[in-house]
Structure 1
Amino acid sequence: MFTLKEIKKTVLISLWFVFLTFPLMVIKVDPIEKTVLWRWHNALYVAIGIFCIRCLIEFFRHRKQQKEKKKKNSSDDSQALIHRILVDPRKRNIMLGVLLSLVVIFPFVFDTYQTNIMITALMYVVLGLGLNIVVGMAGLLDLGFVAFYAVGAYSYALLNHHFGLGFWAVLPIGGGLAAFAGILLGFPVLRLRGDYLAIVTLGFGEIIRLILENWNEFSMGPSGISNIDRPYFFGINLSLEHSILYLYYIMILFLIVTIFIVNRLQNSRLGRAWIALREDEIACQAMGIDKRKTKLVAFALGAFWAGVVGVIFAAKTTFINPASFTFLESAIILSIVVLGGMGSIVGVIFGALILILLPEYLRALSEYRMLAFGAILVAMMVFRPQGLISKIRRTYTFKQE
């Protein structure tokens, strides 16, 4: 199994990883003492670790190729188990009841910091579900999704700053303005697909960020907008701790509504049109589906969820500036969709919780936490390229009488 050629290739891969991680793992600069510490033992650890991981990957790949029967590994079994639970109404209701109970008591078990982190994770769950409409269902690769997020956040910040409008008044306005921006983006890119569509949406996201950064009279420029009002509870001002608790339950309610609507959309005529558009655009048009309208609705609905979450983000942080809406945010949201499973609602939820919570709980690894985080993502994509919980294609069977 391990030929000389494979061993040589594994050694080269290990050396390449040592080269990539050299500035982080080997060099340590002390700017106060003006000294450089060379940690060569770390390079050795990286080389040995990558060599062992590569050997394990090749071993499992060889075992998989040698099997003659239909293969079902443990992750596939767990995925099938999740799908069986979701299909069975009784099991599904029990699982949802347990999850809802855990979610409700979460703030009373953990401290305010953990609740604040969970609010951020729930926000990314909703953002992932919004982008899942555009990328996972309609198959339109959008790399500028953060632009709609920024439109919602700045809608609340500017309307609150200049006109004193509250959170609940601006929530639908922010979503509507983001949906309008999605339609404006959708019109020029109706004829584009694949890489060309990705480049245009990436450019759109950068245009929005640069406008917010340089138009000082409109957006306060790089200084941003501060003192944004937090949500009120029937006109009552809340303390910081109670405001975080209030936002947490708002996000829970909003997440439930989002899951319900997205699930209904998936099973609707429009959802089937999106899936047909993703699979084969020419065949979709030949079947009489209005391609233009289908794409515009996908862009508008995805942007609407991003705009609403943008309003919640501005209310949560009480300060925003263009640095919060870089391309990295779009990449993270897209990673959530791909990691969870394209078109899968449950997969996107798990993907968002992993991608947002994992870096926080890896802080114990100090400066190596992002390296460990990246290694975990690479391992997931190697062993589960279809996503954590891929969506099962719906099939229809006709039974003979």
Structure 2
Amino acid sequence: MSRSALTRDAALRAPSPLFGRPAPARGVFTSNTGFLRALGGLGIVLLAVLPFLDASRYTISIATSALIYVMLAMGLNVVVGYAGLLDLGYIAFFAVGAYVSGIFTTVLGWPMWAALPATVLACILAGIIIGAPTLRLRSDYLAIVTLGFGEIIRITANNLEITGGPSGIHGIPTWTFGGWSFADGFTIFGLHFPERVVFYYFVAIVVVLVGVIGAGRLAKGKLGRAWKAVRDDEDAAEAMGINTYIAKITAYIIGAVWAGLAGQLMATHLSAISPNSFMFLYSALILMAVVLGGMGSTPGVIIGALFVSLAPELLRDFSEWRFLIFGVLLVVVMLFRPAGLWPATAVLPWLKKKRPVPPATAGFMAVPPPTSNEDLETIDDEEEER
């Protein structure tokens, strides 16, 4: 048998790497991940310390509203930032969550925690009903249709008797667990925490656990990679075997659930809701928070939501000029940071200057060379004896 035939029939072996891959850096100042985790831990500490620094009703109310905006922006980031679906009617799911929880607690007399599964189920159904026909569209057409659905939800709530019509729903109760409710507050180590502070902590916990951690984990999984593939090029993603329609409607439903939970928290926080609370302006503000912070970036979306929700309050001393100043600030930020305040591809400044370390070459050419001539001759002799 010829040498070429033996070489052709020999079992193939994948070559081993020429050098070992270095372990990823995990330090606070040596990696993006470590720095973001440290920054997140610092943010949680600041959330815990804020009531001890200023527990006034105004401060806690503004902080609670800002956290709810963060959760809304995280949900829209799944739809727009990860899946690339331009949704201009996202406030509709916020309204569904608020109205369903308000109806179940005021009309049916359910406790708020019991209305939570109903809110989630209603948002899933709303996501399917709205998303099933509209997600066949793309780009501008999708934006126009979602805008229409957002207005349909608001007008429907404005004309139904069960939703209170233009007056809305009033007297929405707070969260109760057995014989204790947030309205009672609690006392620990001789320090009394009133209702507003306790609810602030509850919102902070929900936002951190569900909004930030949940959306971040989804983005790193198989589903998140499918979303990003659809966002980058839907045709190419479909050619690679991704069911783009299922990926898009899944993102839409998850975003709807996030918004519904935020709506339930807002209904409890304000204890009253009306159709005027769910106008198109709020959809634009939430979308602005996502684009301003950086689409697909968890820290960027948080910064954008805090900026959009807190900037008008911080500029309240300027009276009627505050919205003009707010608009100018938005234009300036978008001019100098077109990719967002913290883009998804952002690299820390001090890591950009870090020189790459050449890989260790101790294992270089560790794979034995191909079969030598002597080995081939031995194989030829064995074949002749056979």
| TM-score over 0.5 for the pair | yes
Deviation at 1:234, TM superposition (A): 4.3
Change (3 A) 1:308 1:88: closer
| Residue correspondence of structure 1 range 17-166 to structure 2 within 5 A | 87-89=32-34, 91-110=35-54, 111-166=56-111
Q: Choose which of 186, 195, 202 in structure 1 pairs with 2:147.
A: 202
| RMSD of Structure 2 on Structure 1 (CA) | 2.1
Pair 1:253 & 2:197 matched? no
Map Cα deviations across residues 253-302 of structure 1 (whole Å, 9 max, x no partner): 11121211111111111001000000101000000001111011000000
| Residue correspondence of structure 1 range 127-276 to structure 2 within 5 A | 127-216=72-161, 218-237=162-181, 238-239=183-184, 242-257=194-209, 258-276=211-229
> 1: distance between equivalents of 2:285 and 2:114?
29
Deviation at 1:97, TM superposition (A): 3.3
Change (3 A) 1:88 1:187: closer
**What secondary structure does 1:273 align onto?**
helix
Pair 1:299 & 2:252 matched? yes
Residue identity opposite 2:166 in structure 1: P
Q: Choose which of 234, 240, 247 in structure 2 pairs with 1:281.
A: 234
Cα pair 1:231 1:243 within 8 Å, conserved: no
Percent identical pairs in the alignment equals: 44
Change (3 A) 1:88 1:185: closer
Pair 1:328 & 2:281 matched? yes
> 2: distance between equivalents of 1:272 and 1:191?
20
Map Cα deviations across residues 301-322 of structure 1 (whole Å, 9 max, x no partner): 0000000111111111111111
Where does the alignment leave 5 or more consecutive residues of structure 1 unmatched?
1-82
Q: Choose which of 291, 297, 310 in structure 2 pairs with 1:338.
A: 291
Which residue in 2 is equivalent to 1:379? Answer: 332
Change (3 A) 1:92 1:389: closer
Runs of 4+ in 1 over 6 A off after TM superposition: none
Pair 1:308 & 2:261 matched? yes
Where does the alignment leave 5 or more consecutive residues of structure 2 unmatched?
1-27, 186-192, 348-358, 365-386
Which residue in 2 is equivalent to 1:4? Answer: none
Cα pair 1:149 1:310 within 8 Å, conserved: yes
Cα pair 1:225 1:321 within 8 Å, conserved: yes
| Larger relative helix fraction | 1
TM-score by length of 1: 0.75
> 1: distance between equivalents of 2:215 and 2:246?
18
Change (3 A) 1:92 1:187: closer
Change (3 A) 1:100 1:371: same
> 1: distance between equivalents of 2:167 and 2:269?
18
Bigger relative contact order (CA 8 A; separation at least 6): 2
> 2: distance between equivalents of 1:148 and 1:92?
30
Deviation at 1:226, TM superposition (A): 0.6
